[in-house]
Amino acid sequence: MKTRREFIQQSLMSGALAALPSVCRSVTNERRTLHAASLNALRSQLAGQLILPADSTYDSARGVFWRNPMTNKRPGLIVRCSRRDDIARSVEFAAQHALPVAVRSGGHSFAGWGTCDDGLVIDLALMNEITIDPSMQTARAGAGVMTAALVAAAGEHNLAPVQGQCPMVGVSGLTMGGGLGWLSGKHGAACDNLLSAEFVTADARTLTASSEENPDLLWALRGGGGNFGIASALTFRLHPIGDVIAGRLSYRFGDARAVLMTFREVMSAAPDELQAVALFRREEGEPRVHVTLCWSGDPAAADRIIQPLRMAAALVSDTVERRPYNRTFGMTGGAPRAFSFVKGSYLQRMSDESIDAVVERYAQAPGPEPALGLDHFMHGAVCRSAPEATAFDLREPGAVHVWISAAWDDSSDEAASITWVDETWSTLQAYSGGRVYANFPGSAGDPAAAYGANYARLVTLKNQYDPSNMFQGNQNIRPTA
């Protein structure tokens, strides 16, 4: 007897559209019949692509960035949208057939929320248009634009967006989860620099969210994630920028505690123009601790600001130099692997005890490529915005966002690697205050951990814009309607 999944996959074969119905699981676990005529009708309405399990591009299309057993899912169909109307038609189709929905921009969700089993993946990667207005210092970016592309386009005009530190993260998902990066001390979070969004709701309406139109929705999109619908394009404020002083300072693992103590001291008093991350990663098989930094202030002041970090311990290497801002990508290094698993945590502050816990846990790391990053030390402009000003409320000075990852090629390393990530995450929860950054999910968890005191207002807006909870692939805000 065939399993239900085998039946779904066979039923959706494009070569059998004329004869075979397909059955897809609904969110209530009832059965819905999806006929060939329905798939053909959807295909005819799309300017983009409809991809089914029998198509040659299916396996590559269904994959997300973090590949592991938890994210290895098989959607019933994938729509690669190339215009806003494709999003609306996909939303209508999902509602009509009671399909689970996953929305993907860059596909970098730690929890693999850019894919799903048996449902519909709405892939925005083809919506990658960028328009820069240098006179207004703004950028309009399609929902599929990657961070590096937006930084490069703005850089041609000596401008920069506030975005993250990874080049291939999608700007829409990052921004709607808050969005922290090298310029957040100086210019706030990415969501603080979101001026407006073109948006498709759960009932396939198209709206504009701005300070003039639907300002409540704009408030929610500034940190509330993909809970309310799908952004098709976003408009950002840009900032003038020249060269920066940036690079990586590397130390022996035996000096890790001293380095983290100095990192804490420097960042606690850091000017807005400095951002730095501490990173544990192996180099040539040896564990190392690194401090990667970006100084966007007066280049003449950089050496004085950075010197305490250079003096924290004996340096193994120092790549800090003057460089264009778009060359800050890739400074954290790391070799690609076939599989990877990552979870995010949060430190209310870098206490001596939490530093000891981080060092001890990394000392026990198995596998070929374990890593642990203390990212986004909270200070400067991002902390001067009131927590209730946007849905993103994690603005406490001195807090640090943490990610724990393992990567491997050989399946024999899988179990130990995943266990180490899980156990390290559990250890660090004692220092988290029960909070988590929505862009660094540890698991689905309690959504109030991501949204704090803003959660009640977000539930009200969820009831208004997505009362059926179509958009669940996120730190999900559950409607009460």
Distance CA 439, CA 27 (A): 24
Is the predicted pLDDT of residue 91 greater than 60, yes or no? yes
Nearest to 230 by CA among 196, 197, 274: 197
| 186 plus 307 within the same structural domain | no
pLDDT tens profile 48-72: 999 999 999 999 999 999 999 999 9
pLDDT tens profile 147-167: 999 999 999 999 999 999 999
Task: Give the CATH number, domain containing residue 255.
Answer: 3.40.462.20
| 232 plus 355 within the same structural domain | no
| 214 plus 258 within the same structural domain | no
Is the predicted pLDDT of residue 26 greater than 80, yes or no? no
| 302 plus 341 within the same structural domain | yes
Q: Which of 32-41, 155-164, 255-264, 407-416 has the lowest mean pLDDT?
A: 32-41
| 305 plus 401 within the same structural domain | yes
pLDDT of residue 330: 77
Structurally, how many domains does the chain consist of?
Answer: 3
Residue 139 domain flag: yes
Report CA torsion sign: 167, 171, 173, 178.
Answer: positive
pLDDT of residue 258: 98
| 287 plus 274 within the same structural domain | yes
pLDDT of residue 107: 92
Out of 123, 155, 176, a domain closes at 123
Residue 449 domain flag: no
Percent of the chain past pLDDT 70, that is, above it, reads 91
Residue 466 domain flag: no
C-alpha count within 13 angstroms, C-beta hemisphere, residue 270: 37
Range of the domain at 94: 4-123
pLDDT tens profile 321-340: 999 999 998 786 666 789 99
Band (pLDDT 50/70/90 cuts) for residue 32 is: very low
Mean pLDDT value across residues 429-458: 89
pLDDT of residue 259: 98
Distance CA 163, CA 145 (A): 12
Q: Where are the alpha helices (DSSP H) in 103-163?
A: 147-155
What predicted TM-score, i.e. pTM, was given to this entire model?
0.91
Asked if residue 264 lies in contact with residue 328, where contact means CB atoms within 8 angstroms, the answer is no
Residue 364 domain flag: yes
Hey, what are 309's tokens? 């970090």
Out of 100, 123, 146, a domain closes at 123
pLDDT of residue 447: 85
| 276 plus 423 within the same structural domain | yes
| 349 plus 418 within the same structural domain | yes
Is the predicted pLDDT of residue 234 greater than 60, yes or no? yes
Residue 456 domain flag: no
Phi then psi for residue 339, to 5 deg, are -135, 155
Task: Give the CATH number, domain containing residue 72.
Answer: 3.30.43.10
Band (pLDDT 50/70/90 cuts) for residue 11 is: very low
Is the predicted pLDDT of residue 239 greater than 70, yes or no? yes
pLDDT of residue 467: 97
Nearest to 383 by CA among 399, 368, 369, 370: 399
Strand partners, 281: 288, 371
Give the position of tokens 């002041």.
301
pLDDT of residue 336: 73
Residue 350 domain flag: yes
Residue 451 domain flag: no
| 423 plus 298 within the same structural domain | yes
Out of 240, 263, 290, a domain closes at 240
pLDDT of residue 35: 78
Is the predicted pLDDT of residue 417 greater than 90, yes or no? yes
Distance CA 183, CA 190 (A): 9
CA 91 to chain centre: 22
Is the predicted pLDDT of residue 17 greater than 60, yes or no? no
Q: Which residue has the higher pLDDT, 430 or 447?
A: 430
Is the predicted pLDDT of residue 138 greater than 60, yes or no? yes
pLDDT tens profile 242-292: 999 999 999 999 999 999 999 999 999 999 999 999 999 998 889 999 999
Distance CA 238, CA 75 (A): 37
Which one-letter DSSP state was computed for residue 76?
S
Residue 443 domain flag: no
Band (pLDDT 50/70/90 cuts) for residue 445 is: low
Is the predicted pLDDT of residue 19 greater than 50, yes or no? no
| 286 plus 386 within the same structural domain | yes
CA Rg, the chain, in Å?
22
Distance CA 406, CA 89 (A): 38
| 248 plus 235 within the same structural domain | no
| 92 plus 139 within the same structural domain | no
Is the predicted pLDDT of residue 218 greater than 90, yes or no? yes
Distance CA 449, CA 464 (A): 22
Task: Give the CATH number, domain containing residue 139.
Answer: 3.30.465.10
Phi then psi for residue 199, to 5 deg, are -145, 145
